[in-house]
Structure 1
Amino acid sequence: MSNALDGIQKLTFTGAVDADGHILEDAGLWDRYIEAKYKDRAVRVRVDDKGLEYLEVAGRPSKVFSGGRLGALSAMGTTRDDKWDAPPTYGGFAPFGAMDAMERLKRIEAEGLAAAFLYPTMSLLWETETEDAELAQACTRAYNRYIVDFCSESGGKLIPIAHLSLGDPAAAAIELERAVKAGCKGGWVAQFVMTRKPHAHPDHDVLFAKAQELDVPIGIHPSLEPVWAAPGRYDRKFMRGNYYFLNIVAADAIRHAFTSFFQYATFDKFPKMRLVLLEAGAGWIDYWLGRLDAVYASAMGRTVSLKEKPSFYFKRNCWISADPDERSLPAMVELCGADKFFWASDFPHPDHVGNYIEEVEELAHKLPATARAKVMGENVMKVYKCELPR
C-alpha cells in the first residue's frame, strides 16, 4: 500500500517557510460560520441538472465557476499533456495536505518546511461576483473564523491570514482587529476593489491606520477578477477563453495597486505600515522602482506629495514574494536587498506543475550564503512577527 507522502521531496536545509500556500477550504464553511442574517446568501457549492458543480454567490449561480470548473482549482501537478476524462468535483484533484490541517502538517514536515502561511481558494472567487459590501464583510468574517480554527492545532506551523474586503474599509478595519485578536497574523485584500477606488485611496486609510496600530502587515493577493477589471484595451468578445493571456497579465493589477500607494503618499501618513505583494512574481520589482524614482524626479513628480523617492518607502515599508522558479530572483536580491523577499509555493493551484520543493532547493543554492536564510524563511517570519516553531 503506497504512502500519501511517497515522492515528496525534502529540502536539504532547515528553516524554510512557505509565504503563500493555499488550502481548499471546506465548501460548507459559510453555512457553519456565517451569521444567521446572511445564511440565505452564503457562498455555497451546488449541483446543476447535469450533475455538475457550480459556485453560488449571494443566492445566484456563478457566471464563471460552473460546469464542474471548481474541480480544476486543485490541479497542481497536472500539465498541458494530461487528459481529464470528466470534470471532477471540488477537491477532486486535491493533493495530500490541501484540505485537512493534520495532513498539511505532515506534508510540510515531509518537505522539510518549518511553517506555511495559508491563503484560501474559494475565497479568491466569490468577491468577484458581488458588489454587496455588507455581504462581503460577512463572508470574510466567516472565512476568518474558519481559518483560525483550521490552524489552531498546528503549534504555529500553519499561519492564518485574514481575508479583508475594501468594499467597506471601516468594517474591514474592525474585522482586522477581531481576526488578529483571534489569531490571524495579518490581513490581505484582493487586487481589485468593488468600489473601483484605487487601493491607496484615502477612503481606505482607516484600514491602513488599524494595521499600523495593530502592527500587522496588509497583503495584496490576486484573485479571480470581475469582468470590469480585466484589461480593457481589447474588446471583451476577443478575450473570452483566453485563460493563458489573462493568467499571465493578472500580475499587472498588483503593480497598479502597489503604485497607488505612492500616488497617494500612503507611507508618509502611515510610516510603520507594512505592505506585502503576493503571487505576482518579483523579477519586475527593480525595474518598477527605477521607473517610480525616475518619474518622481521629473516634472511629473510634482503631482505627488511624497517626502522621499519611492524606493525609500519600498526599503522601509514593503516586501514581495517570488515564485521559486524565478531565474531573476538572485539578481533582484542583490539589487534591492536580501531583506525584501520571500518565496511562495501557491500549492495546490493549477498554474504550476508542482515541483516547487525542487525549485526552492535550486533557488537556495543560487542565493548568496548571506541571503539564503533570510529569503528562505527568516524574512517572512520577521515581517509577520512570528517565531519559528520548535
Structure 2
Amino acid sequence: MSGTGTGTGTDTGTDSGTGTGTDRYTVISADCHAGADLLDYRPYLEKAYHDDFDAWAADYVNPYEDLLADTADRNWNSERRLAEMEADGIVAEVVFPNTIPPFFPSASLMAPAPTREEFEQRWAGLRAHNRWLADFCAAAPGRRAGVAQILLNDVDEAVREVRWAKENGLTGGILLPGAPPGSGVPELYSQAYDPLWAVCAELGVPVNHHGGSASPPLGEEPAARAVFMVETTWFSHRALWHLVFGGAFRRHPELTLVLTEQGSGWIPGVLEMLDYYHGRLVAAATKAATAEAKFGAGLAEAMGKGPSEVWRENCYVGASFMRPHEVPLRHRIGLDKIMWGSDYPHDEGTQPYSREGLRIAYAGLPREEVAVMVGGNAARVYGFDTALLDPVAARVGPTVEEIAEPLTAVPEDASSPAFAPGGKVRVW
C-alpha cells in the first residue's frame, strides 16, 4: 500500500515495497499529456463563442506534426491510451495538456502573451479544455488525474476555475503558466497571486509548473531553437525561487508546488545556491552600514523558512524519465519528492519502452525506494486510490525482478532521452 512521506528526504513512503501486495510495481506516470481533437472542443465551449470558434477553426493550421500524424488520437482516444499504457506497465497517469485549445495559436504552454482583447476568448478556450478533460478522466475512473489550465491575467477568474476543477474531479491540480519577461503579468513572486495560492492551499490543489511553459518568445532566427533548449529549463526553474523568496509558502503553508519535466539533478545544487543567497541577504540586512543590506531588507520576515526547508515541506518533482546520472542524487532530492513519468504520448517519452526506461534508471535499487518513485509519491500527491490501482498493477505492472535486472542493450528504435548516450547502463 502507499504510505505517507515525512518530508525528511529519506522516508520511502511505502510499507509493502511494491504497492500491489505482489511482486509487481504500481506504476503511476506523473507526466503524461492529452487533449481533444480541435473540433471536438466545440461542444465544451459556451454557445456565445460558437460562431467565433467556427471562424477561427476554419482558418487554423496546426503547427505540430505529431498532432497531424496518424498517432495523434493517442491524445483523446481513451481506449487506445489505456491499452498502450497498460502494455507499457503503467496503471494511472497525471494528465497535462497537449493539443491546441480554442483560440490559441499554439499549445497554451508555448503561446505568446495575447492582447487584452484576446484574453476573454482564450479563457473560454481553456475552460472548454478543462471541461473536456473532466469527461476524459471520468472515462477511466481513478486512473487519470487531470491538470486544469488557467491564465494569470485575471486572478479572480483563475480562483473560480480552481474551485470548478476541484468540484468536478480534476485531481491533478492546476498548470501554473510562466510569467517570463515581457509577459505583461506580474512576476510569480508578486502577492497579487495570493488569492490563487490561498484557494489551492485551502482545497489541497497541487500547483504544477511544467517545463517549457515559462520561456519568453525568441523569434524565428535559426539559433532560436538551440537557445530555447539551453534556456528553457532555467526559465522553468524560476517558479521555485519566485514562490520561495516571495513568501508564498509562509503565507500559505499547505501550498504544494510540483516541478515537472525539467529534470531533477539540478535540485540539490539550486537549493544550495538559494540557501546561500537567503543566508547572505538575511545576514546583510542586520548590518545597515553595508551596501548589500538593502537587498535583504524584510526578506526573513517575508519568507519565513529557508529554501531547503520549504523544499522539504512543500515541493515535489515530476522527474519524468529519470536519467541514470540523476538517481544517485535521490536522497539529496528526497525519496519522498520524486515522481517518475513516461511523458506519453510524446516522441521523447519512454513508451513503448517504459520498462526498459525504469530498468536503466532503477536497476539495483531497494524495491522500497523504487516503489515510491514510480508510484507511491504520485499516489500521495495527486490522491490516487492505490486500493483501486493495485489489482490492475498485479495484472500489468512490471515485476520487481524485471526492474532489478540491469539493462544491457538499449532498444534500437528507442527515442527517449532516457536512453541517450551518457545516460546508459550504470553499475551500482
Q: TM-score range by the shorter chain?
A: 0.7 to 0.9
Task: Evaluate the alpha carbon distance shift between residue 43 and residue 242 of structure 1 in structure 2; reply closer, same or farther with a 3 A threshold.
Answer: farther
**Counterpart check, 1:281 vs 2:260:** no
Q: Counterpart in 2 of 1:115?
A: 92
Distance 1:153 1:352, change over 3 A: closer
- Say whether 1:310 aligns with 2:307: yes
Matched, 1:173 2:159: yes
Q: Which residue of 2 aligns with 1:208?
A: 197
Deviation at 1:248, TM superposition (A): 4.1
**What SS class does the counterpart of residue 71 from structure 2 fall into?**
coil
How big is the shift at 1:370? 3.3
Give CA deviations for 1:120-141 in whole Å, capped at 9, x if unaligned: 2125714435243333322221
State whether residues 201 and 255 of structure 2, in contact with CA within 8 Å, keep that contact through their aligned partners in structure 1: yes
For residues 154 and 353 of structure 1, what CA distance do their matches in structure 2 show?
Answer: 22
Amino acid at match of 1:307: G
**1:134 and 2:120 matched:** yes
Partners in 1 of 2:226 and 2:350 — Cα distance? 15
Aligned residue for 1:38? Answer: 49
Question: Per-residue CA shift, 1:171-210, capped at 9, x if unaligned?
Answer: 1111111111111011112223643322231111111100
- 2:325 match: 328
Does residue 102 in structure 1 map to residue 79 in structure 2? yes
Structure 1 residues 112 and 265, CA gap change in structure 2 (3 angstroms) = same
Structure 2 unaligned regions, length at least 5: 1-22, 286-295, 390-428
Structure 1 length normalisation: TM-score? 0.79
Assess if the C-alpha contact under 8 Å between 1:144 and 1:163 holds in 2: yes
Deviations 1:333-386 (A, max 9, x none): 111210011112222224457544421232232544332111101101101122
2:61 partner SS: strand
Q: 5 Å matches for 1:255-270?
A: 255-270=237-252
State the distance in 1 between where 2:307 and 2:54 align. Answer: 40
3-state SS, counterpart of residue 250 of structure 1: helix
CA RMSD of aligned residues (A): 2.6
Matched, 1:187 2:174: yes
1:112 maps to amino acid? G
Q: TM-score of the superposition, structure 2-length normalised?
A: 0.72
Task: Give the SS at the match of 1:335.
Answer: helix
Do the aligned partners of 1:27 and 1:45 also contact (CA within 8 Å) in 2?
Answer: no
AA at the equivalent of 1:270 = H
User: How far does the alpha carbon of each residue in 1:124-179 deviate from its partner, in whole angstroms, 9 at most, with x for none?
Assistant: 71443524333332222110100111121212112212111112111111111111
Q: 2:207 aligns with which of 176, 200, 218?
A: 218
Contact 2:112–2:217 (CA<8 Å) still a contact in 1?
A: no
Letter in 1 for 2:359: E
Q: Summarize deviations over 1:20-42 as a string: whole Å, max 9, x none.
A: 10124221133221112333444
Matched length: 338
Identify the match of residue 347 of structure 1 among 344, 347, 351.
Answer: 344
Question: Distance in 1 between the 2:56 and 2:356 partners?
Answer: 34
CA contact (8 A) 1:198 1:257 kept: no
1:161 aligns with 2:147: yes
Counterpart in the other structure of 2:416: none
Instruction: Give the one of 373, 377, 387 matched to 1:379.
Output: 377
Q: Which residue of 2 aligns with 1:16?
A: 27
The 1-side partners of 2:96 and 2:137 are apart by 11
Shifted more, 312-321 versus 150-159: the winner is 150-159
- Residues of 1 paired with 2:41 and 2:320: CA distance? 31
Letter matched to residue 387 of structure 1? D
Does the 8 Å contact 2:212/2:236 carry over to 1?
no
Question: Which residue among 185, 199, 207 is the counterpart of 1:196?
Answer: 185
CA distance in 2, matches of 1:280, 1:130: 25
Task: Measure the CA separation in 2 of the matches of 1:170 and 1:320.
Answer: 28
**Change in 2 beyond 3 A, CA 1:106/1:170:** same
Of the two, which has the highest radius of gyration? 2
Contact 1:30 1:44 in 2 (8 A): no
Distance in 1 between residues matched to 2:76 and 2:230, nearest whole Å? 27
Gaps of 5+ in 1: 1-11, 56-68, 75-89
